């Protein structure tokens, strides 16, 4: 039986050899986040405010979120290489910009009938860069769109909305529907004989729906607190910065070596699993200290950490806090 992301984080932390969680770091970072939540700086409102994101009133918003999150993985590049850039933006925001550009150009990119058979050349044009750099793992992105498009057409009458309605306002039900029906979202590994899961993109998909609709209508989930943080290669850098995570000398050496870690490698699994448990502990710490009229969950904490990594990128590089490098479709 595959453990849930939350159970996986606890188990991996307990057995981890290369990564540890530091209680002092939990307290220090927890107190900072408490201030941001109490002041209103960190909330569902600020989470969803960005010019590249759709508004809940856009009739195509749900389809946009599904397509973007199906393609939302692996944007990193080696230090000596030129990165993939769209309209001056990199990473996730470059992806959003590219999809918005395609919609303006009347490409039917939000329609599963189109993307279930999209060609490599068609997707390459949709995701074309400002420079000569092609988006990483383009072939895998084509396959992912084919997989999810075919499943929508075969099982859900060609509409992702039917997946959401079938979940009946339960984030955990929607998570199961996504991971059961869309293979490219099945983010699992075997760690020391245990079947574990992270479901980074599947949980982001649920969270993005929740944030876009501000926990109303299609985005109303009565158990959103069950979602964990989204275990990727950037948020652990922020946890490392705040001394929430502590890496062993062996792990630091491997990361500084620019080594590529295979998806499912013990070191990679420990970074991701311990990140999940660390944010779970942060959530528990913060819940006991925020104002009674405020709320917190792992999604908001993840957003704080991901945003911190983007806004403090130079400082993190200067402090030589490495990220783990893995080519895969899961994050």
Mean pLDDT of 167-184: 98
Decide if 305 is inside a domain: yes
Decide if 230 is inside a domain: yes
Decide if 74 is inside a domain: yes
Report field, pTM of the whole predicted structure over 0.85: yes
The CB-side HSE value for 12 (13 A sphere, CA atoms) comes to 34
Report the pLDDT value the prediction gives residue 51, as an integer from 0 to 100.
87
Q: Is the per-residue pLDDT at 47 higher than 70? A: no
Q: How many structural domains is the chain composed of?
A: 1
276 to 171, 240, 261, 331: CA distances (angstroms): 17, 13, 19, 14
Give the span between the Cα atoms of 47 and 273, in whole angstroms: 24
Question: Could you give the 3-state DSSP secondary structure of residue 138?
Answer: helix
Decide if 330 is inside a domain: no
Q: What is the mean pLDDT of the chain?
A: 96
- Exposed e or buried b for every residue in 77-109, given b needs 16+ CB within 10 A? eeeeeebbebeebbbbbbbbbbbbbbbeeebeb
Q: Is the per-residue pLDDT at 163 higher than 80? A: yes
Boundaries of domain holding 198: 5-318
Query: pLDDT tens digit string along 267-288?
Result: 999 999 999 999 999 999 999 9
Report the pLDDT value the prediction gives residue 9, as an integer from 0 to 100.
98
Q: Is the per-residue pLDDT at 49 higher than 80? A: no
Report the pLDDT value the prediction gives residue 46, as an integer from 0 to 100.
73
Decide if 90 is inside a domain: yes
Report the pLDDT value the prediction gives residue 146, as an integer from 0 to 100.
98
Decide if 32 is inside a domain: yes
Decide if 50 is inside a domain: yes
Mean pLDDT of 146-154: 98
- Identify each DSSP E strand in the chain by its residue range: 19-21, 85-86, 89-90, 188-191, 194-197, 245-247
Decide if 328 is inside a domain: no
- What proportion of the chain, given as a percentage, has pLDDT over 70? 99
Query: pLDDT tens digit string along 183-221?
Result: 999 999 999 999 999 999 999 999 999 999 999 999 999
Indicate which residues carry an active-site annotation.
232
Give the span between the Cα atoms of 283 and 30, in whole angstroms: 8
Query: pLDDT tens digit string along 223-277?
Result: 999 999 999 999 999 999 999 999 999 999 999 998 999 999 999 999 999 999 9
Query: pLDDT tens digit string along 64-110?
Result: 999 999 999 999 987 778 899 999 999 999 999 999 999 999 999 99
Query: pLDDT tens digit string along 102-140?
Result: 999 999 999 999 999 999 999 999 999 999 999 999 999
Residue 48: pLDDT band by 50, 70, 90 thresholds?
low
Report the pLDDT value the prediction gives residue 80, as an integer from 0 to 100.
79
């Amino acid at each position: 039986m595959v453990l849930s992301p939350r159970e996986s984080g606890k188990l991996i932390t307990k057995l981890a050899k290369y990564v540890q969680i530091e209680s002092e770091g939990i307290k220090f970072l927890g107190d900072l986040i408490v201030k941001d939540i109490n002041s209103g700086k960190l909330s569902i409102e600020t989470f969803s405010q960005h010019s590249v994101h759709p508004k809940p009133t856009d009739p195509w918003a749900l389809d946009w979120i599904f397509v973007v999150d199906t393609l939302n993985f692996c944007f990193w590049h080696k230090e000596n290489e030129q990165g993939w850039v769209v309209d001056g933006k990199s990473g996730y925001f470059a992806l959003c910009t590219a999809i918005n550009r395609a919609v303006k150009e009347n490409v039917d990119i939000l329609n599963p009938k189109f993307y279930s058979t999209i060609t490599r050349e068609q997707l390459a044009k949709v995701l074309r860069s400002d420079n000569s750099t092609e988006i990483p793992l383009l072939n895998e992105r084509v396959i992912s769109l084919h997989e999810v498009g075919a499943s929508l057409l075969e099982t859900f009458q060609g509409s992702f909305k039917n997946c959401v309605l079938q979940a009946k306002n339960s984030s955990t039900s929607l998570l199961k529907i996504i991971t059961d029906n869309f293979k490219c979202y099945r983010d699992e590994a075997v760690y020391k004989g245990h079947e574990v899961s992270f479901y980074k993109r599947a949980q982001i998909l649920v969270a993005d729906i929740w944030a876009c609709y501000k926990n109303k209508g299609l985005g109303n989930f009565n158990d959103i607190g069950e979602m964990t943080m989204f275990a990727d290669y950037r948020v652990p850098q922020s946890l490392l910065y705040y001394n929430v995570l502590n890496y062993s000398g062996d792990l630091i050496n491997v990361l500084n070596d620019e080594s590529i870690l295979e998806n499912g490698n013990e070191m990679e699994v420990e970074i991701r699993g311990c990140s999940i448990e660390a944010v779970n502990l942060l959530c528990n710490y913060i819940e006991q200290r925020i104002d009674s009229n405020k709320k917190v969950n792992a999604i908001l904490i993840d957003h704080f950490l991901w945003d911190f990594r983007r806004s403090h990128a130079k400082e993190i590089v200067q402090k030589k806090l490495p990220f783990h490098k893995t080519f895969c479709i899961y994050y």
